[in-house]
């Protein structure tokens, strides 16, 4: 069995310029936490997200004012914007007019097939795909009664919503099936994967701290992606959404699916380390968060073994025993004072990548 498994074959859609599904790379998305009515603050957050590699951003649209603010947001956003809407089809129509690139709405919840017709008509005109977002916490009552809040119930709910769109000849569809636990989420996606050709937005609903949310997303999205399931992903965390993007890329990198930015290599904790490798590596990792170029950066605690052990690193530092080194691909290129390793390393990365590093 190869890893990751063969990618599931899906019918691609376009969220603005970003292809989702088909043979497109798995795209990384996140969601703003600002008040959408405040377009300036929202744009500021979108810009920060785009800087760390977010490729699609979703914003809550829970009022007319929020939908109106979209015209400013969508015209200045560097990445495609998706409007997240619950129930209110008038907000969907207004958002579509205001330049959004994607719509998240569950067609079975907006009132009638006529309203679905109107939304899909405008979405088609504007070339906007619709994501159906099934959540185990808010399933239809009859499905819960029949199947409980099970993967089966989630899949049946998705199929119902999909039918509303297909009835209108609308197929630019993505689907998500989220629960707050790994097991149900994975099973639901596996089941639906056999039933429909639409690309999947994958994610686990947030329900905990950054610590538990990171682990839960890594396991759940890791299992799905390793089976070839998933076309766009969001890591949900109760935290600054910048962290969501970081975790998403770390997951994709570990599965060999995408390589963006810096991967840190550092020595394990050991009695020999003579500089504080852990805190130095973590500080440098945070400074390099916006670097786009794929790069392996090593921070080692031993000048004797460090460069050799970190041969695979594009660039690295080693410090200890009153000495310091800067090396590239295992070859020493400069000697450094052991208490001044960070800046020379950052400088080297600046010149290697040609990117701005604050």
Nearest CB to a second copy, comparing residues 90 and 191: 191
N-terminal to C-terminal alpha carbon distance within the chain:
43
Nearest CB to a second copy, comparing residues 1 and 354: 1
- Give the residues across from 300 on adjacent strands: 318
- Give the residues across from 177 on adjacent strands: 134
Separation between Cα atoms, residue 358 and residue 290, nearest integer Å: 9
In the complex, what is the shortest distance from the CB of residue 144 to a second copy, in angstroms, rounded to a whole number? 14
DSSP-assigned letter for residue 1 = -
In the complex, what is the shortest distance from the CB of residue 135 to a second copy, in angstroms, rounded to a whole number? 12
Nearest CB to a second copy, comparing residues 15 and 310: 310
Separation between Cα atoms, residue 291 and residue 285, nearest integer Å: 10
In the complex, what is the shortest distance from the CB of residue 236 to a second copy, in angstroms, rounded to a whole number? 7
In the complex, what is the shortest distance from the CB of residue 302 to a second copy, in angstroms, rounded to a whole number? 14
Integer Rg of the chain from CA: 23
Decide: 155 and 188 in contact? Cβ < 8 Å. Answer: yes
Q: How many Cβ atoms sit within 10 Å of the Cβ of residue 246?
A: 21
In the complex, what is the shortest distance from the CB of residue 191 to a second copy, in angstroms, rounded to a whole number? 9
Nearest CB to a second copy, comparing residues 166 and 285: 285
Nearest CB to a second copy, comparing residues 185 and 232: 185
In the complex, what is the shortest distance from the CB of residue 321 to a second copy, in angstroms, rounded to a whole number? 18
Nearest CB to a second copy, comparing residues 116 and 267: 267
In the complex, what is the shortest distance from the CB of residue 192 to a second copy, in angstroms, rounded to a whole number? 13
Where are any strands of DSSP class E within 76-157? 81-84, 102-104, 130-135
Separation between Cα atoms, residue 85 and residue 122, nearest integer Å: 15
Kindly report the three-state secondary structure assignment for every residue of 166-217: HCCCCCCEEEEEECCCHHHHHHHHHHHHCCCCCCEEECCCCCCCHHHHHHHH
Nearest CB to a second copy, comparing residues 1 and 356: 1
In the complex, what is the shortest distance from the CB of residue 116 to a second copy, in angstroms, rounded to a whole number? 28
Separation between Cα atoms, residue 289 and residue 215, nearest integer Å: 20
11-36 burial string, b = 16+ CB within 10 Å, else e? ebbbbbebbbbeebebbbbbbbebbb
Residues 6+ away with beta carbon under 8 Å from 38? 69
Nearest CB to a second copy, comparing residues 169 and 268: 268
Interface residues toward a second copy, by CB under 8 A:
1-4, 33-35, 181-183, 186-187, 190, 206-212, 214-216, 218-220, 222-223, 226, 236, 238-239, 246-247, 250-251, 254-256, 263-271, 277-278, 281-282, 285
């Amino acid at each position: 069995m190869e890893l990751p498994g063969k990618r599931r074959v899906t019918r691609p859609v376009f969220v603005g310029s970003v292809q989702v599904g088909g043979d497109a790379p798995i795209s990384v998305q996140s969601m703003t936490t600002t008040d959408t009515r405040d377009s300036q603050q929202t744009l500021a957050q979108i810009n920060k997200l785009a800087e760390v590699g977010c490729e699609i951003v979703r914003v809550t649209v829970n009022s007319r004012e929020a939908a109106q603010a979209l015209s400013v947001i969508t015209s200045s956003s560097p990445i495609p914007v998706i409007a997240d809407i619950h129930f209110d089809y008038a907000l969907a129509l207004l958002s579509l007019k205001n330049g959004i690139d994607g719509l998240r709405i569950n067609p079975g919840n907006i009132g009638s097939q006529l309203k679905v017709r109107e939304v899909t008509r405008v979405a088609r005109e504007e070339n906007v795909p619709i994501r159906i977002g099934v959540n185990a916490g808010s399933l239809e009552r009859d499905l819960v009664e029949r199947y409980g809040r099970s993967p089966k119930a989630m899949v049946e709910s998705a199929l119902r919503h999909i039918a509303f769109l297909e009835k209108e000849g609308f197929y630019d569809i993505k689907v998500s099936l989220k629960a707050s636990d790994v097991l149900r989420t994975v099973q639901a996606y596996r089941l639906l994967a056999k039933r429909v050709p639409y690309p999947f937005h994958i994610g686990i609903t947030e329900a905990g701290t950054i610590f538990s949310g990171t682990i839960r997303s890594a396991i759940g999205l890791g299992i799905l992606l390793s089976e070839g399931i998933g076309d766009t992903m969001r890591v949900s965390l109760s935290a600054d959404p910048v962290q969501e993007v970081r975790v998403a890329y770390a997951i994709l990198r570990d599965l060999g699916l995408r390589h963006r930015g810096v991967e840190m290599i550092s020595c394990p904790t050991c009695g020999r380390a003579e500089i504080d490798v852990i805190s130095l590596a973590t500080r440098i990792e945070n400074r390099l968060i916006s670097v786009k170029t794929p790069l392996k950066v090593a921070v080692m605690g031993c000048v004797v073994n460090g460069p050799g052990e970190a041969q695979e690193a594009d660039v690295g530092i080693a410090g200890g025993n009153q000495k310091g080194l800067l090396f590239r691909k295992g070859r020493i290129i400069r000697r450094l004072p052991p208490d001044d390793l960070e800046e020379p390393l950052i400088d080297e990365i600046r010149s290697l990548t040609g990117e701005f590093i604050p």
